[in-house]
Amino acid sequence: MTAYWKPGLTAVALAAFVFPTSRIWAAEAPLQPGADISIDVVGTSPVAASGIDRDRLPYTVQSGTREDARRTQAGSLSAYLLRQFTGFNVSDLEGNPLLPDVTFHGYRASSLVGAPQGISVFLDGVRVNEAFGDIVSWDLLPEAAITRMTMVSGSNPVYGLNTLGGALILTTPSGKTDPGVTVDVKGGSYGLARADVTWGFGGDTPVDGYLAATVFHQDGWRDFSPARLANLYFKLGGDLNADRWEIALLAGDSKTTGNSLVPSFGFTDGAQAPGLYDADRAAVYTWPDDTRNRALQLSGRYVHHVGAASDWATVAYVRGSHRKTVNGDVSDTYADYIGLCEHGFDAAGNPIDARCPYLRDQAAALPSAALNTTGTHQTSVGLSTSWTARTDRNNVTIGADALHSTVKYRQYEQDATFTSAREAVALSDSESALVAGVDGRTRTAGIYLTDTWTLLPSTFVTGSLRYNWSRVSNTLVTPDADDAPETFTYTKLNPAIGVARQLGAVTAFANWSQSSRVPTAIELGCADPRAPCRLPAGLQSDPFLSQVVARTIEIGMRGAPWSGARFSASYFDTRNRDDILFLRAPDTQNGYFANFSRTRNRGVDLGLDQQLGDVLLHAGYGYLEATYDAEGDIVEGERTVHATRGMRLPGLPRNSIRASADWQALPTLALGVDIVGNSSIVTAGNEDGLVADTASGRATRMANAGVGGWVTVNLRASWRPQPHVEVYGNVGNVLGKRYETYGMLAEDLFPGGTLVQPHVEPREVATARFVAPGAPTAWFVGLRYTM
């Protein structure tokens, strides 16, 4: 039997799910929501003007409001998703709160170029995944303006390319729906200072508006890790008879330092030695690692209502962004000389011990550091439109979208040297030189159809179909000349079918869906294992990469079976064909993208909300088994890992728990607590439990190479002395738990914090476990005024 779910088999299974009980429930009237059940409406597409009750949909939908986020005092959108949405996880890969690495069911919506993406993100119908790498610039999202967050799980084809694990829908209000002024200021640990201002106006006039602005600054808890941010969101809108028009402007500017991973302990000749992180939790490996991110987006939306049962919604937008990075790293040439003598063999396997004195002399004459500077300019123009019609039996949406994006990327390198604090400082007689670049263009178009059909009074069947067409063109730029343009075309027809069955106050559902993702310019430009690149850096010739195809089956139940409660339980199984992974090359900080034939993400999500008088309880549990689903060799830095079917993917916890309690102790006083916990994760490069023994060349076991599980506790309080005034405070990680959120094996060229010198015996260079430290105890207090 094939390893992939087949639509025909799934249709039979869905029919078996629906019809054996249809005689029992055929006479049942449609479910009428009681006092304890709220109707949560979900858009049938990213741009749909109207939605459908989520209890009629055959997949899991999680949602939250701005009021929920304020109550939890999470501090950021990604932190709120981590605490309140089941299936989410956040890794501190960049060591900066503005640069989170967010995953859902093991699929990423990351700000880190090179991380394999799999979640599509929309803001008021505008896709905000950047064309260069499909990354999400979380720092530039207008968090102060977002009033609703909805997570749609599964490989839903309606939401377009990159929806392998799900789609995150973010919504902002208008001056008519959210009038008044809110000023929110707070300050706290590590120099935190933030102010958010919103203003909705003109609700009783022909034209209304909404303004949201944020300024943010923090010194950061890690060394040399400041962050600052300013963004503005302004929307004008109005009603024309039964129609609605809106024009929105988004502008953002951030400067962040992401100091990334730091060596925890080394492994040399069977012995372990403490690393830089063990001596200093706030230490950084090398610096600077600065990112300047700017974006400007103009969008328009028009909704034409055709009577009470039909509407047409159109969204058009243009987005421009510029990202500049400056990274201080060990020079690749310097590291290569050290690495050759460390292993004692050259690339052909010939012993080179006799040449080591010469190689060490060569290394001594080389600059030990390099300042790698990158610049990325992106422009995207998009158009989406959908028509929705509602009848007694059907809710139909037909839509189409198109996107044209261009990218210009350049990387420069400058010789530098390290200070005693591991800062890379440019040599006075050196100049920045072009290393590589790419001029890319991506064009995509798609058409789709989805219908939720009332098969029986309480049985709803949803079918979807989408056709995608994409063309990705690259022109690679080298110091000598530009290569000839290379163009790849991808097409795919993606279906989905599911059923939801209302059984009183509980809904049971089952769904099968398929979606796809095409390689981006960065992935196609860095796909040659013979010429690996530094991300986001040095691009080479373009081997073909296949598009990723994800197929998901999901079954579950949700509802409000008793007073004050709402629960959800689901099982998901997603199988990915031709998954795109970023693989590190041996003895270098570089890597390349490659297809891996099959991976698999499956698990269980459980969630419960319960109101008990003045106490609101929330509990969530997620189980994730993210594994390779085929055999193959994976180059993971210091060694080649032979992946086998069932071997866990690195960086993803198998178990996660989320719990919170909010107590309205007094009419003016609210107290709350959050508990967030993850089980252990596999370290990249140590998936099979082995590590290269650099003295003998053998692969041996490395004790404690994985990253352990952890639990943190957060406390919060809110006091309202007057109806329009709120004073609040939060203490994160109140128990001071020391924990890590990611791990990777690599060579530590700074054992004890000091750079390995050429005259030092090379075999003292250790393979080390590098980790992403979690944040220590931190607090903030704030004041919110609404009028």
Q: Which residues of 428-466 are buried (b: 16+ CB within 10 A; e: fewer)?
A: eeeeeeebbbbbbbbebebebebbbbbbbebbbbbbbbb
What number is the average pLDDT over the span 656-676?
97
What number is the average pLDDT over the span 665-680?
97
Assigned domain for 214 exists: yes
Residues paired with residue 599 on neighbouring β-strands, in sequence order:
576, 628
Average pLDDT, the chain: 85
Assigned domain for 342 exists: no
User: Distances from the Cα of 208 to the Cαs of 173, 183, 211, 433, 785, in angstroms?
Assistant: 11, 20, 10, 51, 22
Q: Is the dihedral of CA 680, 591, 338, 371 positive or negative?
A: negative
Res. 37 pLDDT band, cuts 50 70 90: very low
Residue 539: per-residue pLDDT: 36
Assigned domain for 781 exists: yes
Assigned domain for 591 exists: yes
Q: How far is it, in rounded angstroms, from Cα 291 to Cα 648?
A: 32
Residue 752: per-residue pLDDT: 80
Assigned domain for 359 exists: no
Q: How far is it, in rounded angstroms, from Cα 52 to Cα 50?
A: 7
Where is average pLDDT lowest: 395-409, 502-516, 678-692, 759-773?
Answer: 759-773
Pair 460, 492: CB distance under 8 Å: no
| Structural domains of the chain, count | 1
3-state secondary structure 197-254: EEEEECCCCCEEEEEEEEEEEECCCCCCCCEEEEEEEEEEEEEECCEEEEEEEEEEEE
Residue 724: per-residue pLDDT: 95
Residue 200: per-residue pLDDT: 97
pLDDT of residue 592 exceeding 80: no
Res. 362 pLDDT band, cuts 50 70 90: low
* Side-chain-side CA neighbours of residue 438 (13 Å): 28
Res. 273 pLDDT band, cuts 50 70 90: confident
Assigned domain for 248 exists: yes
What number is the average pLDDT over the span 218-238?
94
Identity of the amino acid at 591: G
Q: How far is it, in rounded angstroms, from Cα 703 to Cα 689?
A: 8
User: What CATH number should be reported for the domain holding residue 730?
Assistant: 2.40.170.20
Residues paired with residue 515 on neighbouring β-strands, in sequence order:
550
What tokens does 531 get?
Answer: 């010429």
Looking at per-residue pLDDT, the higher value among 256 and 197 belongs to 197
Provide the 8-state DSSP code for 281: T
Identity of the amino acid at 262: V
Cis peptide before 536 (omega within 30 of 0): yes
pLDDT of residue 99 exceeding 50: yes
Nearest-CA neighbor of 663 among 732, 734, 716? 716
Assigned domain for 782 exists: yes
Assigned domain for 354 exists: no
Pair 293, 326: CB distance under 8 Å: no
Residue 12: per-residue pLDDT: 37
Domain span holding position 597: 7-331+367-786
Identity of the amino acid at 314: T
Pair 382, 127: CB distance under 8 Å: yes
Res. 95 pLDDT band, cuts 50 70 90: confident
Positions of E strands within 23-105: 41-43, 51-53, 61-65, 88-91, 101-104
pLDDT of residue 605 exceeding 90: yes
Looking at per-residue pLDDT, the higher value among 474 and 667 belongs to 667
Residue 764: per-residue pLDDT: 54
Identity of the amino acid at 714: N
Q: How far is it, in rounded angstroms, from Cα 734 to Cα 585?
A: 40
Q: How far is it, in rounded angstroms, from Cα 627 to Cα 347?
A: 31
What tokens does 509 get?
Answer: 């559902």
Res. 411 pLDDT band, cuts 50 70 90: confident
Q: What percentage of the chain reaches a pLDDT higher than 70?
A: 83
Looking at per-residue pLDDT, the higher value among 541 and 626 belongs to 626
Which range in 132-146, 464-478, 521-535, 708-722 is most confidently predicted, on average pLDDT?
708-722
What number is the average pLDDT over the span 41-51?
84
pLDDT of residue 2 exceeding 50: no
Residue 204: per-residue pLDDT: 84
What tokens does 617 get?
Answer: 């309880």
Res. 5 pLDDT band, cuts 50 70 90: very low
Residues paired with residue 327 on neighbouring β-strands, in sequence order:
289, 372
